[in-house]
Amino acid sequence: MSTWVNENSVTFFQLFCIKVVKCGRVPQHIAFIMDGNRRYAKKHRVQSSKGHSEGFNKLSETLKWCLDLGIPEVTVYAFSIENFKRTDEEVNGLMDLARDKFQRLLEEIDQINEWGVRLHVAGRLTLLPDDLRALVAKAMLLTRHNNKLRLNIAYSYTARDEITRAASQVIEGVRNKELTADDIDEDLLSETLELSPPDLLVRTSGEVRLSDFMLWQISDTVLYFTDVLWPEFTIWSLLAAIIHFQRHATEPKPDIDLSDRKRTFTDRLEDKRWQLLEKYVT
C-alpha cells in the first residue's frame, strides 16, 4: 500500500550524504517534470497504468527526500491539458489513479497534517470529472494551514493556460475597478499566477523540452535534465541535481513588493479561489 510520503526511504549513509549537501545552498523550491512512466512500463513489459502507479510511488519517496533536505516547496507536472488527447483507456486510467491517490490522501490526512504537507493543485480544475474535482478540493482545504512542505501538483495544466487565466483575471480586476490599467506590470501578473518560480527544475527520461510547464516562472531557474526514467529516480539522482544547482545558481531575487491596491487584488483573488474550492466540495 503506497502512501503520499514514504517514511522509510533513506539509509544512514544516504542521510549522511544529505547532510553534506545541505552544507551548501539548497533550493527552496524544486519542480519536477516526471517523465518516463510509459517508457518504464514498456521497458518492464507491463501496462502503462503500472508505470504511472510506480511514478506515484516515486513521488512519495521524493517528497520524503525533500523533507529531509529541508526543501519547503515542490512542484510536479502530473497531467497536462494536452494529455486529454491520449487514448480514452489511458486517460480514464490516469483519472482512476488520481481518484485512488486523492482518496488515499484523505484517509491519511492525520499523517499528512503531522508531516506539515500542504497540497495545492494548479490547473483548469473544471476539466476534471466532478467526483475527482471534489476530492482534489477537499484535500486542498484540509491541508491549507500546513507549512512545512508545500506540494504543488500541476494537473489539467499548461503554462499557456495558466498565463491566459491570470491575464483574464487582471482584465476583470480593471473592469471591476479593483485595479487601474497602470497597475498592470510583470510583478502583478507573477503574483496572479497559481505557481511561484522554482529555483531548480528537474526533467527525467532524457527529454530536454519544457512541454508548456511554468514558462513564465523559469526565467532564472536552474535547469537539470537526466536520462533516468522517473520511476527509477533515486536519492542520488536528486542529490546530483542539487549539486548541479549549487554550481550554477545565481543570487536569489528579492521578494516582490506590491502596492497596497495590487496586494488587495491578489488577496481577494486568493479568497475567491478558496470559496470556489468549498463549492466543489458541496
Question: Phi and psi for 108 in degrees, rounded to 5?
Answer: -100, 20
Region of 21 (left: φ > 0; alpha: ψ -120 to 50; beta: rest) is: alpha
Angle at 50 between CA 130 and CA 81, to 5 degrees: 40
Q: What is the CA radius of gyration of the chain?
A: 19
φ, ψ of residue 218 to 5 degrees: the values are -100, 25
- What are the DSSP E strand ranges found in 12-71? 29-33
Cell numbers at 207, concatenated: 527529454
Cell representation of residue 268: 481577494
Helix (H) or strand (E) holding 61: helix 48-69
Catalytic residues: 35, 52, 149
SS3 3: coil
User: For residue 231, with 0-12 CB atoms within 10 Å meaning exposed, 13-18 middle and 19 or more buried, which class applies?
Assistant: buried
By DSSP bridging, strand 222-225 and strand 73-80 are: unpaired
